[in-house]
Each structure stands twice: as structure tokens, then as C-alpha cells.
Structure 1
Amino acid sequence: MKTNQQPRHILSLSGGKDSAALAFYMRDRVPEMEYVFHDTGKELPETIAYLGRLEALLGKPIHKSTVENGDFIGFDQLLKIYGGMLPSSHRRWCTRKMKLVPFERFIGNEFCYNYVGLRADENRDGYISQKPNIVPVYPFREDGLIKADIERILEESGLGMPPYTEWGRTRSGCFFCFYQQKIEWVRLKAAHPDLFEEAKAYEKPGKNAITTFYWCGNEPLAELEKPERMAQIIREHEVAKERARRNAPNKTLLNILGGVDDYEEKTGCLICQI
């Protein structure tokens, strides 16, 4: 579907380490690169600050895509359309409506190369556009770069790892992402109690008033936040961590302590998490 026009080169940023490292990796290789971030309106404050620093270091603007006809179309607006039905791994309307659709609208019908930060040490696919004018490119895989290389790129750039990793969050995305481990909900409550309360407030019956939707399967956040339940989650996490340490003696301490590689969702969305 290539035309006589010059192809566009577009790199989608998630606020995660891999796409940020890829932005630096490709900056001088593809000077005409465009950077886009699909803002849901529900990002962690650390993510927005991280992207601001990245934008300054790249010396180019990062386009915010979640705007339609001059209006911001974010999570709260879409939740009303879906009758209060929260997204989940079985109904990922958030990925489709707040990530993929804005991305495809940003590109239109122009031919483009979409640069994706999958690494050579990853064995997963993800949710990316199937439009024939959008051709995915995987520079890290092509060049054999692994997790240690990505961390080195971030360190040498001066950007470093995403700051939410400092308090135990393992992924970018909305603060109430349903792919979070329960230990991450515990950590969110400690780091951002206001955001935990906001997430909890979304858990209510849908439009038909029959089904109540929760972020963590069948467990409401109001139950998860009880001191005895949080203590249990922490204990179980420590047991799982020790088991992982015994079963994988060659893993680094960062991996064992809940690093990103321990929780990269195999069915997750590339446009949302990388």
C-alpha cells in the first residue's frame, strides 16, 4: 500500500522503559521520527513527568493522540458509553478505544513504519494495528538487544528507569490497570492513596444495576485494602519471591524482587505497556 509519498516513521511511547530506550536508540538513526503518546487521562503522575523529561532530552515534541474533533476522549467519557462496565482482560475496550483507535487516527491512510520496543530476549506478541499501511519494525530484536542493553541506554541517556519502579510498580499504563498484581495494588495504596480511592470509586454496578464490576476479578478494592488482607498479600508475595529465588538461582536480584521481566503480560498490549 506504499504511495509516492515519503513514509512516516512513528514511535509510540507508553511511559515504559522499552519505548523510552527505543526513542533514544532511534533518535539519530531516524531524524524524522515522530513520537506519540496515547494519553488516557488516568496515567500515573510519574509517567507524565517521565515523558516530560524524555521530550526535553529528545528535543522534539511528543504528540498526545487522545483528542477527537478538538475534544479529549479519555477513560471517564468512554466508561459512560460502556455503561459503567470496567475494562478487563476479557473486555479490553480501553486498549482498543484509548490506544489503538487514536493511534490509527493519528496515522490516517498514510504509509508508515511503526517502531516497537520488543527486545531480543522476549518471547511474546502483542496487540498492534493490522492496517496494511502500518508496518511494524522491531529494532531491538533485529539488533539483538536485551534487557541489560535497554537499562544501559536509559542510564547513558540520563533519563534512567521510570520513577514508578522505585515504589514497586512494574508497568506503565493507567493507575488502575487490571493487569496489576495484587501486591501492586497494595503498593499503589501506599504510594498514591488518592489514586487508590479514585480506583475504588469506579467499582459499582453497571447500567443494568445487576452486575458490579471490580478491577481484581471478584475481589473489591474495599476488601483488598483491609489491613489483614493487605498483610496476607504481602506475605504471599514474599513466599512467591523466595520460591522464585530458589527455582531460578541465576536470576538477578532485580528480577527476583519483582522487576519488570517477572510481570510482562504475555497477552498484554504493546501499544500500552512497552
Structure 2
Amino acid sequence: MALKMNLRLGTGMPNVNGQKKIRHILSLSGGKDSAALAIYMRDRIDGMEYIFHDSGKELPETYEYLERLEGYLGTKVVRTTFGTTFDDLLRRYGGILPSNHRRWCTKMMKLKPFEDYVGNDECVNYIGIRADEDRVGYISHKPNIIASFPFRDDGIAYEDVVRILMESGIGLPPYIEWGRSRSGCYFCFYQQKIEWVRLKQKHPEYYEMAKAYEKPNRVNGNVFFWCKEESLEDLEQPERMQQIIENWEKSQEKQRQRRKDVPLASILAGMEYEPPTREGCLICQL
């Protein structure tokens, strides 16, 4: 399919008072969709700013992928930080780990750094939600930040994203090779249990660091786990890990049997087809 895009905003277009220029900013997560969007937009917007909200808890493969992308884009990706570390924030929140119900890590280490970076400037924020995804994602409530969805506007779906990455030579994120489906922190609470198993197998040192966070908090002394009801200490037991692997293999086989039309791009890339709806934090995973 021919890839094209309708741009409604020109580069550096003055705002209504004619005094400021619009900034064009694309946030990278270390994932395939935002990387493909950066490639797709490279020659369409002059002066595009590429930023990465570095939590300090990323996988080494994520940093490697960003460096690879910088080489293709021919420009540096700005690393934004909030000025405090995850551990500083964890102490501020009483040692209570973030979860899908307590997403303070997203708020304080992703969203706030982005809005601080933009400040009061007029900004178009480019977001890599695909045309085959049914979700809105993060849209700033600040009136000076406008969200733009080029992939959705241009009908770019999963197989197109894979093709963009392959044709550019950037390829897919290296962590996909060992079975991780998402970018983001190595202890991301949105990980599937099979991904925890793979983290244990591929990066046991990161697994141990994640496990060390599971200790009584200062608020009520309760222990919070990354996997809700199961501790990483229990999960890493050989019998439990084998059970998780077997359950995952069975679920994958059921999904393969249900799918009739698997995109060719998925086969060529050696990847499982990604369903249109993904659970997780948008700004971390795209």
C-alpha cells in the first residue's frame, strides 16, 4: 500500500497572535510503533524534536534501539528526566509500588517530564497509535498541546509498521527476540507472567533487582507485588516457571487455531500477530 499523509499544520506555523511558532514533538518509548512513526515522519516535518522519557529503569536493549534510531534519524534523541529517580519517588509514595491502579510512575516519570519539556509553547505531539487499534491513549489536557495521530489518519496498521521498520534497516526492537512484547521499565507491572519468566532467563540480574522492591511498605507494612497476588520469589520457582511456560504455549496454540488470516508481515518478521487491543501504559509502550 502506498504510504501518504495529510498534514494540516505547517512546520513553524505561527499561532494566532503571530508571535510564537509551533513545536513538533514526537515522544519515543523504545517500542516499535513510536520508532516506526519517527521513521515515517522524518522527511515530512522539519525541525521535529524526538524525546525519550528515561526512567533510569529501562532494559539495555531499549537504549541500544534508541541509539540505532538516532543513527537513522541523523539527530539526537533528547532524554528528559523529572530530576528525581524512581527510588526517590518510591520513598515519596511510602514504598508502595506502582500498579495499574496506582500509576504514579507514568504520571511522575513520563507525563510530567513531557509537559515540563513543552512548557507553555504551542506544540503538536505525534502519537504512534495505529489504524487497527481501538484506543485513545494519552492526550494532554493543556490547551497548548495538540495530539496528532499520523498512523491512524493514514491507515497505517500493524503490518505496515513492521514493514517500515524492516525497510529502514532499523528492524524490530531487540528485546522482541527473547520474547518481551513491550518497552518500558524492566519491572513493568503490565508484563505478562511469561515475560517475567523470560526476564529471569535473559536478564537474571534485572529480575533480582525487581524482586528486591517487593518488601513491606512504610504506610501499612503490607508487601506489594509486581504481579498482584504472586511474588517474584514464588514465580521463579522451577515448577512454577514451567507451569507458566506450558500455560502460555497452550494459549498461543488456541490463538493460532482461532486466527484465520495472519498478516504476511508477521510471518516474515517471525512474530506472533499482535491483536489490535493492547493493555498497558500508552506513553511507555508505543
The interval holding the TM-score normalised by the smaller chain is: over 0.9
Say which of 141, 163, 168 aligns to 2:152.
141
| 2:111 alignment partner in structure 1 | 100
The 8 Å contact of residues 134 and 277 in structure 2, kept in 1 or not, is answered as no
| 1:49 alignment partner in structure 2 | 64
| 1:269 alignment partner in structure 2 | 281
State the alpha-carbon separation in 1 of the partners of residues 100 and 93 from structure 2. 15
| 2:256 alignment partner in structure 1 | 245
State the alpha-carbon separation in 1 of the partners of residues 54 and 224 from structure 2. 23
Say which of 29, 37, 45 aligns to 1:22.
37
Q: Quote the offset at 1:260 in angstroms.
A: 6.9
Q: Secondary structure at the match of 2:244?
A: helix
State the alpha-carbon separation in 1 of the partners of residues 87 and 277 from structure 2. 26
Q: Quote the offset at 1:2 in angstroms.
A: 5.3
State the alpha-carbon separation in 1 of the partners of residues 100 and 278 from structure 2. 11
State the alpha-carbon separation in 1 of the partners of residues 222 and 78 from structure 2. 38
1:127 lines up with 2:152 in the alignment: no
| 2:126 alignment partner in structure 1 | 115
The 8 Å contact of residues 100 and 189 in structure 2, kept in 1 or not, is answered as yes
| 1:80 alignment partner in structure 2 | 91
Q: Quote the offset at 1:9 in angstroms.
A: 0.1
Cα–Cα, structure 1 residues 264 and 181, in superposed 2: closer, same or farther, change >3 Å? farther
Q: Quote the offset at 1:130 in angstroms.
A: 1.6
State the alpha-carbon separation in 2 of the partners of residues 265 and 94 from structure 1. 19
After TM superposition, the structure 1 = structure 2 runs for residues 167-206 of structure 1, keeping only pairs within 5 Å, are 167-206=178-217
| 2:167 alignment partner in structure 1 | 156
Alignment size in residue pairs: 268
State the alpha-carbon separation in 1 of the partners of residues 263 and 229 from structure 2. 34
Cα–Cα, structure 1 residues 17 and 82, in superposed 2: closer, same or farther, change >3 Å? same
Deviations 1:209-261 (A, max 9, x none): 52101000010000000000001101111111111112223235958x97472
Cα–Cα, structure 1 residues 252 and 24, in superposed 2: closer, same or farther, change >3 Å? closer
* Unaligned residue ranges in structure 1 (runs of 5+): none
* Unaligned residue ranges in structure 2 (runs of 5+): 1-14
The 8 Å contact of residues 100 and 128 in structure 1, kept in 2 or not, is answered as no
Q: Quote the offset at 1:55 in angstroms.
A: 0.9
The 8 Å contact of residues 29 and 184 in structure 2, kept in 1 or not, is answered as yes
1:227 lines up with 2:238 in the alignment: yes
Deviations 1:83-112 (A, max 9, x none): 111000000000000000000000001110
The 8 Å contact of residues 115 and 138 in structure 1, kept in 2 or not, is answered as yes
TM-score of the superposition, structure 1-length normalised? 0.93
TM-score of the superposition, structure 2-length normalised? 0.89
Cα–Cα, structure 1 residues 2 and 193, in superposed 2: closer, same or farther, change >3 Å? farther
Say which of 43, 47, 58 aligns to 1:32.
47
| 2:7 alignment partner in structure 1 | none
State the alpha-carbon separation in 1 of the partners of residues 63 and 201 from structure 2. 20
The 8 Å contact of residues 32 and 161 in structure 2, kept in 1 or not, is answered as yes
Q: Secondary structure at the match of 2:274?
A: helix
